[in-house]
């Protein structure tokens, strides 16, 4: 059933009080197709936008949504095949990402333990090519199924089709708002390939007293680290990392190290250097900054927060001030990771 003038405050982790002109949920492809047909009858305007909402963990609403907001609640996690080295797991796009991680750990399936506790649903994982602690979604991605809105039919996407990049895919640019991801199939390792070199994982494993490495131990270490420095959206509104870590060429990094000896950077396979956006922002004095109810988190400068009643515009304005100050101090452009609506 399509409802009118529904508040989206409880449907986005920033807690921004925007309104959907029309709103409904769906838990199957058939229900999605039916709602799209109903849209023509109810709105009397088939050209109104259709906005697909997952967990709302990577969105900043700066205005009300004029059109139909459909919340994806397609559930289900199942093993659909295996071969000598891999097990293939299919999950509904409306499943919690972290619940999928726990399913894999409980079934001794390796590959996404470093991505523990990332907020959001399964459907967002390929859109963003989510990543953390040295692992990206593309490392375990196999295929996905998506509903093509223009032709009302299902299409399968392979790894190559998705054109994954750093927090990028075809669904964020070339095919933006054209497909509804309904399920994702992952290729998980039967034999773990432990990745503990990134961030503070090794240090946390030591403090946990881990003697024998396992995917469960790595997952718990990541959970501990994330919980210690990232705010819980249930307590303080936020969307996790607001900015991407910028990449610069090696020569610029060398030049920046002269005045800024403590600058944090990681050399990539292509020779470029990925900088820690949080460090850059902190050096510009934003960490812990607050203006009204919009602020920069006290423990992690990469996270912008809503302390209660901030508007989307107030959060956006703060982000633009941060971008300007980092550009002025370091000549490094920051790019938003969060989707601005």
Query: CA–CA separation, 287 vs 243, rounded Å?
Result: 14
Q: Which of 95, 145, 314, 337 is catalytic?
A: 337
163 catalytically annotated:
no
Compute the distance between CA of residue 104 and CA of residue 64 in angstroms, rounded to an integer: 38
In 19-96, alpha helices (H): 29-43
Establish whether 37 is a catalytic residue: no
Name the region of 11 (left: φ>0; alpha: ψ -120 to 50; beta: rest). Answer: alpha
Question: Which listed residue (113, 241, 314, 319) is catalytic?
Answer: 241
- Would you call 226 a catalytic residue per the annotation? no
Q: Which long-range contacts (CB under 8 A, 24 or more apart) does 29-36 make?
A: 29/74, 29/147, 29/154, 29/182, 32/70, 32/147, 32/180, 32/182, 33/147, 33/152, 35/2, 35/68, 35/70, 36/149, 36/152
C-alpha distance from residue 213 to each of 94, 122, 205, 210, 218 (Å): 31, 27, 9, 7, 7
Closest CA to 17 of 56, 80, 62, 49: 62
Task: Kindly provide the residue ranges of all beta strands, DSSP E only, lying in 127-193, ordered along the sequence.
Answer: 131-132, 135-136, 141-148, 153-158, 179-189
Catalytic residue from among 167, 183, 219, 319:
167
Q: Is 242:303 a contact under the CB 8 Å cutoff?
A: yes
Q: Which residues are the active-site residues?
A: 167, 241, 337
């Amino acid at each position: 059933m399509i409802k009118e003038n529904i508040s989206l405050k409880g449907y986005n982790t920033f807690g921004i009080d925007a309104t959907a002109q029309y709103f409904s949920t769906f838990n199957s492809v058939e229900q999605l197709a039916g709602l799209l047909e109903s849209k023509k009858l109810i709105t009397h305007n088939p050209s109104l936008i259709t906005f697909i909402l997952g967990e709302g963990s990577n969105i900043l609403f700066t205005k009300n949504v004029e059109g139909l907001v459909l919340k994806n609640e397609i559930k289900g996690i199942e093993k659909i095949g295996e071969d000598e080295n891999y097990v293939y797991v299919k999950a509904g796009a409306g499943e919690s990402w972290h619940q999928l991680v726990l399913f894999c750990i409980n079934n001794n399936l390796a590959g996404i333990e470093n991505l523990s506790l990332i907020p959001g649903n399964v459907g967002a994982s390929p859109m963003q090519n989510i990543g953390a602690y040295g692992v990206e979604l593309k490392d375990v991605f196999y295929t996905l199924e998506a509903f093509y809105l223009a032709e009302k039919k299902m299409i399968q996407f392979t790894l190559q089709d998705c054109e994954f990049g750093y927090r990028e895919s075809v669904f964020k640019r070339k095919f933006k708002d054209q497909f509804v991801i309904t399920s994702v199939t992952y290729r998980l390792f039967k034999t773990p390939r432990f990745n503990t070199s990134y961030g503070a994982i090794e240090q946390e494993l030591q403090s946990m007293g881990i003697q024998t490495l396992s995917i469960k131990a790595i997952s718990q270490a990541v959970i501990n680290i994330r919980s210690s420095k990232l705010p819980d959206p249930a307590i303080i509104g936020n969307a996790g990392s607001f900015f991407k870590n910028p990449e610069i060429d090696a020569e610029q990094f060398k030049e920046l190290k002269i005045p800024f000896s403590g600058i944090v950077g990681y050399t990539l396979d292509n020779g470029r250097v990925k900088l820690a956006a949080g460090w850059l922002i902190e050096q510009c004095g934003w960490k812990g900054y607050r203006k009204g109810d919009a602020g920069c988190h006290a423990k992690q400068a990469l996270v912008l927060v809503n302390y209660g009643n901030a508007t989307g515009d107030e959060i956006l304005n703060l982000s633009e001030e941060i971008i300007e100050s980092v550009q002025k101090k370091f000549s490094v452009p920051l790019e938003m990771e969060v989707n601005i609506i």
